[in-house]
C-alpha cells in the first residue's frame, strides 16, 4: 500500500513566502510615510524661505514704486510747465507784433511831422526872402523882385521850387513880367547872383537846379553873346571844361549855379529846348 502524500513541507513553504510579502509591504509603507514626512518638511522650509525672501525684497519694491510715482508727478509738472511756457511765448510774440505795428505807426507819423517841418522851413525861408526883397526893393521893384545896384532881380525858385522851363519859355516869362533874362556884366553882379542862388535854392551846386541867364551862342558856335548883343569875352566864370557843347542836339544856352569852391566858376552850357531849369529875370529899378 502506497504511503499518502506529504503536505507538511508545502504548507511551510507557502507560509514563509506570505511572510516575506507582508514584510515587503510593511517596508514599502514605512518608506512612503518617511517620504511623505520629508516632503512636508521640505514644503514647510520652502514656504519659510519664500516668506523670508518676500520680506527681504518688499522695501526695495516700495522704494522703486515711490520713485516711479515721483517721476510721473515730475513729468506731469514738466508738461504743465511746458504748456505755461508755450502760452507765455505766444503772448510775448503777440505783444512783439503789436509793438512793431505801433512802432511802424509812430515812424509813419514821425515821417509826416518831419515832412511838415521841412515844408515849414522852406516856407519860412521863402517868406524871409520875400520880406528881405520887400524891404530892400520897397518902392523900387515890383513884388517878388530883389533890388541890387539899381536893378531888380526875380529868381523863379522863390516863387515855385517845382516849376521849371526851357530857355525860350523862361525868357518869355521874364518878358511877361516886364523884364528879361539877367545880363551879368560885372564881378559885383556875378557875386550877387551866386550868393542869392546859394541863399535861395535848396541844392544850389547842381547844374540840374541851375537857372537860365541871357547868354547864348545860338548864332555862331563858340561865340557867346548876351541878349543885349554884348559878346562875353570873360572866360573865368565858366566851370572847368565848360562850355563843351557835348549834349545831344547841342548846348547853346548858359545856366548858372553856386560853386562853394570858387564863386566865379558858376556857368554851364545846356541844351536850350531839351532841359528845363529855373530862371533869373532882371529889369531896371524905378
- Could you tell me the CATH number of the domain that includes residue 164? 3.10.100.10
Helix, strand, coil % in the chain, rounded to nearest 5: 55, 15, 30
The answer to the question of residue 247 being in a domain is yes
- Tell me whether residue 48 is in a domain: no
Domain that holds residue 218: 139-284
Percent with pLDDT over 90 in the chain: 42
Q: Is residue 173 part of a domain?
A: yes
Pairwise pLDDT comparison (246 vs 184), residue with the higher score = 184
Alpha-carbon distance 200 to 204, whole Å? Answer: 8
Cell matching residue 37:
514626512
Report the chain's mean pLDDT, rounded to a whole number: 81
For residue 172, being part of any structural domain is answered with yes
C-alpha to C-alpha distance for 167 and 271, rounded to whole angstroms: 9
Instruction: With both helix axes pointing from N to C terminus, report the angle between 187-200 and 8-137 in degrees, rounded to the nearest 10.
Output: 140
What distance in Å separates the CA atoms of residue 170 and residue 150, rounded to the nearest whole number? 23
Can you tell me the mean pLDDT for 182-192?
95
As given in the structure block, the three cell numbers for residue 35 are: 517620504
Summarised one tens digit per residue, pLDDT across range 32-57 is 666 667 666 565 655 555 555 544 45
pTM over 0.95: no
Kindly state whether residue 161 falls inside one of the protein's structural domains.
yes
Has residue 113 been placed in a domain? Answer: no
Where would I find the beta strands (DSSP E) of the chain?
146-148, 151-155, 180-181, 211-216, 225-226, 253-256, 267-270, 278-284
Q: The cell 530892400 sits on which residue?
A: 136
Residue 143 domain-assigned?
yes
Q: What's the total number of domains in the chain?
A: 1
Query: What's the rounded mean pLDDT across residues 246-263?
Result: 88
Give me 280's grid cell: 533869373
Point out the least confidently predicted range of 69-73, 239-243, 244-248: 69-73
Q: How many CB atoms lie within 10 A of CB 266?
A: 27
**What is the distance between the alpha carbons of residues 205 and 85, in angstroms, rounded to a whole number?**
60
Q: 109-167 pLDDT, tens per residue?
A: 888 788 788 777 766 765 665 566 555 556 789 999 999 999 999 999 999 999 999 99
86, part of any domain: no
Amino acid at each position: 500500500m502506497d504511503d499518502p502524500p506529504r503536505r507538511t513541507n508545502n504548507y511551510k513553504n507557502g507560509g514563509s513566502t506570505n511572510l516575506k510579502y507582508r514584510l515587503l509591504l510593511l517596508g514599502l509603507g514605512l518608506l512612503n510615510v518617511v517620504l511623505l514626512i520629508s516632503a512636508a518638511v521640505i514644503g514647510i522650509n520652502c514656504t519659510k524661505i519664500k516668506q523670508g525672501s518676500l520680506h527681504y525684497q518688499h522695501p526695495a519694491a516700495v522704494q522703486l514704486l515711490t520713485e516711479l510715482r515721483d517721476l510721473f508727478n515730475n513729468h506731469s509738472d514738466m508738461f504743465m510747465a511746458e504748456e505755461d511756457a508755450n502760452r507765455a511765448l505766444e503772448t510775448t510774440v503777440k505783444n512783439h507784433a503789436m509793438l512793431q505795428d505801433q512802432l511802424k505807426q509812430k515812424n509813419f507819423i514821425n515821417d509826416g511831422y518831419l515832412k511838415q517841418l521841412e515844408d515849414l522851413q522852406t516856407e519860412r525861408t521863402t517868406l524871409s526872402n520875400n520880406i528881405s526883397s520887400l524891404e530892400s526893393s520897397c518902392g523900387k521893384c515890383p513884388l517878388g523882385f530883389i533890388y541890387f545896384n539899381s536893378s531888380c532881380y526875380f529868381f523863379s525858385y522863390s516863387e515855385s521850387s517845382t516849376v521849371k522851363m526851357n530857355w525860350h519859355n523862361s525868357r518869355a516869362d521874364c518878358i511877361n513880367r516886364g523884364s528879361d533874362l539877367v545880363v551879368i556884366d560885372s564881378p559885383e553882379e556875378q557875386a550877387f547872383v551866386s550868393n542869392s542862388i546859394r541863399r535861395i535854392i535848396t541844392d544850389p551846386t547842381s547844374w540840374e537846379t541851375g537857372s537860365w541867364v541871357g547868354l547864348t551862342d545860338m548864332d555862331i558856335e563858340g561865340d557867346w553873346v548876351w541878349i543885349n548883343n554884348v559878346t562875353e569875352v570873360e572866360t573865368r566864370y565858366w566851370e572847368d571844361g565848360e562850355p563843351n557843347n557835348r549834349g545831344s542836339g547841342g548846348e547853346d544856352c548858359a545856366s548858372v549855379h553856386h560853386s562853394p569852391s570858387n564863386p566865379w566858376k558858376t556857368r554851364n552850357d545846356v541844351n536850350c529846348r531839351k532841359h528845363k531849369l529855373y530862371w533869373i529875370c532882371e529889369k531896371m529899378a524905378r
